[in-house]
Each structure stands twice: as structure tokens, then as C-alpha cells.
Structure 1
Amino acid sequence: MSFTNHRKMQLYGALLLLPAALLLTTFAYLPTVTTVINSLFLPGFRGAPTEFVGLENYQVLFDDPTFWKVARNNLIYAVGTIPTSIALALGMALFVNGKLRGRGFVRMAYFTPTILPMIAAANIWMFFYAPQIGLFNKLLGMLGFSGVNWLGDPSVALSSVIVMSVWKEAGFFMIFYLAALQSMPPELKEAADLEGTSRWSFFWRVTFPLLMPTTLFVLINALINSVRVVDHLFILTKGGPNNATNLLLYYVYENAFSFFDRTTAATITVVILVVLAVVATLKFTILDRRTHYQ
């Protein structure tokens, strides 16, 4: 290939990448840089210029007990939703991947919560959790138990939100596991059957290791989902009672649009981005050693 043709191919490739690069720069890189800059300044009042304060905003944030309570809530939420959603998704994928009567209907039933808008799903679960007329309390009453204030009791409110989130996410993750299971060579199962390998042994020694690329992908998505909770909190609890269900991104929303404290919102956002980057890096570093790419 001549030098001229090579330059033309490079230009052609750059032009193909240009739309994606513009979108990423406009909606990802520039907002990130702007947020980092805003977290280092104090806004001016009544026309006064902004003041550079360095890391002082972070010191104020880390001295705020509400921030640590919200961060603790988010950690509990992540621990409650990520492994449960992934384990449930894997179990559902294994179930619907086998020989099953009405398999298409079962798959559709598992995936239906995913396609529901989050606001609609939150309103459905708000009816389930209603103290007087809610489905769950009606069932408890039929069994002779007293009702529970699912969203009003600080001791159970966050758990109630976690249950709804698992119900919403598991079907989405199931699709990726199902696609990975269907792409596995059938010769592996045939060879295992000839050798008399049990299903459990085949799963742990063959199936699960081959699913590690999918698991890594799902883990990263589940991690991101665990810190981008806003809409169903807005419908169900608004972060209450007494910040019992307040999570980091909803706390950012409150500071930015309810309290009009854009500096604190920017500072919390930077902290979230740093934590996500560190955790994602650790996941890639640790799990990549156990991942078998086909």
C-alpha cells in the first residue's frame, strides 16, 4: 500500500471515529472535567467572583455525618443488590436454557420487569408496600401477622428498596448469561456426559469459568447501577425516613436541585467517580486472571 493510500485510510478511520469522539467529549469528558473544577471552587454570591479553595470542599464533605450515612447506605445497597442480582440472573439463565415446556413464556416473564419504566415499576411496588392496602401486608394479615410499614420504618426501608431493585435488574443480567450459555460449544457437555461428570462438577469446572467474561461485564454494570439510583427513590421514599434510604446519586440530586448547592454536588460526584474507577480497576485486575476468553 502506498503512502498516499495509507494516509487516506487513516483519515477515513478518523472520520468514522469522529462522531463517537464528539459525543464522548461533549457528554462524558467535558462534564467530568467541569465537575472536577467546580469541586475546587466556592461560588461567589451577589456578583462576587468564585474563590479557589482547593481541597477544602472535600474536607467539609468528609466532616459531614450525613454524607457518611448516605455512603454507608449505598454500600449496604450495593452489597445487597450486586451479588443477589447476579446469582439470581445466573440461576434463571441456567433454568430457561434447559429443556423446558413453555420456555419462551418463562423467558418473557423473567425479562418483563426490565422493560418496565422505572417510574412505573416504582409505582407498582409502592402499591405492594402500602401500609394499609398493600399486597404484602394483606398477605401477612391473612397469615395472622401484623403489617409492616415497609417504606416508613428506617429498619426495613432500605431492604425494601433493595428487593425492588433486585427484581428489576435480575432479568436484564439474565439476558447476557443466557446469550453466553447458548454460545458455548455443545461438544463440551457431550464429552462431560461420556465421562460421567455430574452437573454440579460440570458447572463449576467448565460452565462457570467460561462465563467469567460475562460475569465481569455484569459486575461492572451492576456496580454502576448501584450508584445511579435516583428515580425510584424519588417515587418511593425521597431518601427517607431520616435519610435511611438516601443514596449517593440521590444525595447529589438533592444538593444540586433542592438545596441549590452545586459545589457540594460536584464534590460528591467526583468522589463517586474516583471510587467507581478504583473498584472497577480492582475488578479487572483480580477477575481478569480468572477469565477465559474464547
Structure 2
Amino acid sequence: MSEHATLERRRQAIYGWLLLSPALVLLSAFAFYPSIATLWTSLFSRGTRRKPVEYVGLENYTDLFADPTFWLVVKNNLIYAGVTIPVSMGIALAMALWANGKIRARGFVRTAYFTPTVLPMIAAANLWLFFYTPGLGVLDQIGSLFGLPSVNWLGQPETALWAIIIVTIWKEAGFFMIFYLAALQTIPEDLKEAADIEGASRWTYTRRIVLPLLMPTTVFIAVNALINSVKLIDHLFILTKGGPSDASKLLLYYIWEMAFAFFDAPSAAAMTIMVIVVLAIVAAIKFSYLDKRTHYQ
């Protein structure tokens, strides 16, 4: 290899690293280093004045697995994710199909669907307090018209988590609708015309053409919805604070509670690492399996 070719190759390598450096710096500062520091913290005990910090290995993880509250929180999060993800995605798809059609006041319909998304999380939670407040809330006021008793939606274990789920679906469905609506507008019109010529019904066209073409968007939304399902904390601060009796407590709120209320940073770090591992497994499945079975134009 000539000296000129070597210099050109080196120059291209330097140019490539310069292009990558901004993203690399940001990822190192806000992703790689915090993850490594969290893993390191999870391997040590909680220090006190009488008992200094010491290396305990995987003891924090084994303690979490033996903690019944941890498993209750995991169960709550699984229920929360198992309901909010498919329901919000289904509603978002239905709204997008409706808003993409030739209907009157289409712009107003799209705006109405998207409005909950632009509300701050704290504002949305305070808004729903007017629905859930016993005796004074909108739900109880409507129920009283039919002679139904007052219900403390946020104050009893049977309904607290479901009340949070409803708020999340209301908040996220409009956000996911935007992605579906953008994807629908990329589908060529000649596909609909060809389906009409062949005599395909609207349901057949949607099932055999629209839904397969929306699969990349569906996978993207599903991954984002899964991430959202493990990072909810704002609504819990306002609505339930994880109660009653931990019935509505989710993972991120429990991590915050362990770190800043109980001052047990190693246990919080151990839970954080487990969440990262689960999300990494989901990402690996997405890139290695779902992407291969997804139709991309």
C-alpha cells in the first residue's frame, strides 16, 4: 500500500471519528458512565455512620428477590404494561385510521386527539384528580345521577392501579396516533385503487395491505410504549404516591423511593440494573427477530 493511500485512509478514519465524537461524548456522559456507575454501586452495601460501605457482590440482588414488596411492584408493572401498551396502541391505530379518512373537520379531530399529549404530566394528573376525587369528582357526580355510591378510585387497592392505567392510556394514545397517522400518509393511493378494482372490502384492504405496511411503525411504537411503561413516576406523585398498600407502586417510583426516601442507593441501583437488562433483552429481540419479520418499504 502506497504512502498516499495510507494517509488518505488515516484521514478518513479521523474524519469518521470526528463525526462520531459528539454522539459518543453524549452517550458516554449520559448513558455509558451512569450505567457503569450504577452497576458498581449495586455491588456495595449501604453505608452508615457505624457501618462503612463494603463490597457485598450480588447480595443486593438476592435481597431484592427475597423482598415481597419488590415482587408486588413487578406484578403491578407487568399488569400496567400488559394493559396500557396494547390498549393505547389499538386506540391510537383506530384514531389514526379515522383521522386519516375523508371526514368533516378533520383538522379539529386530529387536534382533539393529540391535545392530551401536549399537557405536562403533572397538569394531566391534577386534571384527573377532578375525575377521581370521592364525592366531588366527575365520576362520582355522574354515578350519583344513577344512584351509585361514591367510590374512592385512588384510595382503595382494587381500583388505584386501574385508575393510573386509564390516565396513561388517555395520555399516550394521542401521541402514538401521530406516528400511525404519519405512516398512513406514506401508503400510496394506487394500492387503495387497486384494492377497490379487485373488489376488496375495507376490512380486507386494512388487514392485508395497511397493517403489514404499518408494521415498522407498530414495532417502533411498541418499543417506546414498553420504555414508557417502566419510567412512569409523575402521575404517581400526584395521584397515589404508590398507595394504598403499594397497590399502584411501579418500578421507577420504587427505585426513587429506595434511593431518596429510604436512602438505600445500592438497592435502587440493583433495581435499575435489572430494568436495564430487561430493556436490553427487548432491544436485542427487536433487532435480531422483529426487524427480520417486519416489512420495510
Q: TM-score range by the shorter chain?
A: over 0.9
Letter of the 1:73 counterpart = N
State which of 129, 137, 161 in structure 2 corresponds to 1:126. Answer: 129
Partner of 2:207: 204
Superposed CA offset, 1:160-210 (max 9, x none) = 000000000001111111111001111111111110111111111111011
Summarize the Cα distance change of 1:2–1:285 in structure 2 as closer, same or farther, 3 Å threshold.
closer
Q: How many Å apart are 1:5 and its aligned residue?
A: 4.0
Give yes or no for contact 1:81–1:165 (8 Å, CA) kept in 2. Answer: yes
State which of 70, 74, 79 in structure 2 corresponds to 1:76. Answer: 79
Q: How many Å apart are 1:6 and its aligned residue?
A: 4.1
Distance in structure 1 (CA, Å) of the matches to 2:287 and 2:13: 31
Partner of 1:195: 198
Q: Indicate yes or no: 2:180 matched with 1:177.
A: yes
Q: How many Å apart are 1:238 and its aligned residue?
A: 0.2
Give yes or no for contact 1:209–1:290 (8 Å, CA) kept in 2. Answer: no
Give yes or no for contact 1:35–1:266 (8 Å, CA) kept in 2. Answer: yes
State which of 145, 164, 173 in structure 1 corresponds to 2:167. Answer: 164
Q: How many Å apart are 1:276 and its aligned residue?
A: 1.7
Q: Indicate yes or no: 2:242 matched with 1:239.
A: yes
Q: TM-score, normalised by structure 2?
A: 0.95
Give yes or no for contact 2:41–2:266 (8 Å, CA) kept in 1. Answer: yes
Partner of 1:255: 258
Give yes or no for contact 2:45–2:55 (8 Å, CA) kept in 1. Answer: yes
Distance in structure 1 (CA, Å) of the matches to 2:155 and 2:178: 34
Distance in structure 1 (CA, Å) of the matches to 2:8 and 2:190: 45
The 5 A counterparts of 1:36-185 are 36-46=39-49, 49-185=52-188
1:155 aligned counterpart, secondary structure: helix
Distance in structure 2 (CA, Å) of the matches to 1:286 and 1:13: 30
Letter of the 1:221 counterpart = N
Partner of 1:21: 24
Q: How many Å apart are 1:280 and its aligned residue?
A: 3.2
Distance in structure 2 (CA, Å) of the matches to 1:44 and 1:235: 31
Superposed CA offset, 1:18-45 (max 9, x none) = 1111111001110000111111111333
Partner of 2:224: 221
State which of 273, 278, 290 in structure 1 corresponds to 2:281. Answer: 278
RMSD over aligned Cα atoms: 1.5
Summarize the Cα distance change of 1:69–1:8 in structure 2 as closer, same or farther, 3 Å threshold.
same
Q: How many Å apart are 1:80 and its aligned residue?
A: 1.0
Superposed CA offset, 1:62-105 (max 9, x none) = 00000000000000000110000100111100000010111111
1:41 aligned counterpart, secondary structure: coil
Give yes or no for contact 1:97–1:181 (8 Å, CA) kept in 2. Answer: yes
With 172-181 and 10-19 compared, the bigger mean Cα shift is at 10-19
Identity among equivalent positions (%) equals 59
Give yes or no for contact 2:114–2:175 (8 Å, CA) kept in 1. Answer: yes
Give yes or no for contact 1:216–1:284 (8 Å, CA) kept in 2. Answer: no
Distance in structure 1 (CA, Å) of the matches to 2:85 and 2:282: 13
Letter of the 1:61 counterpart = L
